[in-house]
Each structure stands twice: as structure tokens, then as C-alpha cells.
Copies of this chain bind each other. A is one copy, B any other.
Amino acid sequence: MISVVILGSGNVATHLFKAFNKAENVVINQWYSRNISTITSYNKEVEIIDDLSLIKDADVYILAISDDAISELSTQLPFEDKLVLHTSGSVSVYDIDKKHKRGVFYPLQTFSKEAEIDFANVPICIETIDKKCAPIIKDLALSIGSPTKRVNSDQRKVLHLAAVFVNNFTNQLYRIGHEITESQGAEFDLLKPLILETAKKVQDLSPYKAQTGPAKRHDKKTIRKHLKLLEDQHHKDIYQLLTTSIKHTHGRKKL
């Protein structure tokens, strides 16, 4: 049995709470937040505190809080030599106060209030300073069904950066698709199967092999038509830059 205290009350903290709460070999000793108003509804399932002086002993303390708050909260924790993890993709493990055993438990997934999460689809990237700390972190991830991967700091940081490309930026392309279709009264819904298929395709095929379309074909005529259709200069800029990027990746087709 692994005992944990969760610190934080955002999306990641809440989804972790739900997952650990269901896990057979994990017990949540407490859930701390500076501002407990959003999580008081869970007080029948766990002890909720907003006072650090009341914090109990546990095997693992998980700081699922905003990047900027990690360093300070870790310093305020009224104990030493316990395993303290943060869940951030971009913050150094050394930002955690050195009085603790330090590590990272970075769930590589998008979390939102609305959507339920199956942790089987959430790879946990594990980083430690002392490798002796790794097994318990791995057990914690396995207890909620997550695959795990040991990564170093550089790898975690590029994974976080790459996640911005494949998640935030991709979602913005969906948004632009939405804007473009709506501008002519066409239905964005018609694009949804394509969006899903595009994501499914690269589960088995490399993005390089999965690519199709006018930029890859170097189909100047279609590219010209598309640029003419785009009314928003900002959309035009994105079209041009990503078309250039695809051409760059796939070489210039010899005519």
C-alpha cells in the first residue's frame, strides 16, 4: 500500500485524486489546497485541508500545482527527507526544495474538467535525482493503469514542447477549420471524421508516411486557389508557413 498526499486543486490534481481513490494499493491520506472551495465536495471521500501545519505523514507528496508555485510550496512543507514529486512538464526537478527526496511524475496528456480520463491512455514520464526513488513512483503510476517511461530532464522538456505542437497547435488548426467552414455556412461537423482519422493514422504510420495533400504533391494550382479563398491574413500566413514546412520535409517534387 502506497500512501499519498495530493497538493493542488486544478484539473491534474482532481483527475489524479479520482484515479488514486479508485486504485487498490493506494491510500490518499489528505488532499491539500490553499483554496479548497472547488474541492470541498470530495470531503466525504478524503480529508481536505488548507493548512500545511496539519499535513500528515505519507510515502509520497504530489505537487499538482501551477509551475510558478512549485518551488515555494515545496519549501513551506513542514518536513524533510520525504519523497516530493511535481507533475509539470517544464519545471526542473531541482525547483523542489533540496530538503526533500525529489522527483517528477509528469502525465503526458490533456486534462479538462469536462472529460473523464482513462489513465491507461496517460503515459507517466518519471524523473528522479536518486534512482532509488524510481520504483515507488513507477508503482504509483501502475496502480492507476498508466504506462511509464523514465526520462531525463532534457527529454521531459522536449516532450512538453512537442505536446504543445501536437495538442495546443493542432487544436488551433481545428479552430481555424471551424472559422473557415462557418464563414461559408458549411458544417464543421463534416470535418470531425477526418480529424479523428488523421490522429488514428499516425498511431501505426509515421507522420512522414501519413502525409498527403497539395503541399506534399507540390500542387501549385490548388495552393494558389486556397490562398485566394483565405480572407484572413493570419490564416494565409499559417497556410503559407505550414505549406513551406511540408515542402521542406518532403523535398521539392521534380517536374
A-side residues, CB < 8 A to B, are 67-68, 90, 108-112, 114-115, 121-123, 125, 149, 151, 154-159, 161-178, 180-181, 183-188, 190-203, 205-208, 210-216, 219, 221-222, 225-226, 229-230, 234, 237-239, 241-242, 244-246, 248-249
Contacts and interface: CB of A to CB of B under 8 A. Distances in A.
Given A112-B201, A238-B241, A241-B241, A162 B149 contact: no
B180 A165 contact: yes
23 contacts: A67-B222, A110-B201, A112-B205, A151-B186, A158-B180, A161-B230, A162-B177, A164-B226, A165-B180, A167-B198, A168-B211, A169-B173, A170-B195, A171-B202, A171-B210, A171-B211, A172-B207, A172-B242, A172-B245, A175-B249, A234-B244, A237-B241, A241-B241
A161 B229 contact: yes
A108 B194 contact: yes
Given A110-B212, A194-B108, A206-B178, A201 B115 contact: yes
A187 B156 CA distance: 10
B221 A67 contact: yes
Mostly helix, strand, loop or mixed at chain A's interface?
Answer: helix
A245 B234 contact: yes
B121 A197 contact: yes
B110 A172 contact: no
A108 B177 CA distance: 13
Given A109-B194, A161-B230, A198-B199, A213 B170 contact: no
| Copies assembled | 2
- In the A-B complex, the 8 residue pairs with the closest CB atoms: A199-B199, A168-B213, A175-B207, A174-B207, A155-B186, A162-B177, A121-B193, A169-B242
Contacts of A159: 181, 186, 190-191
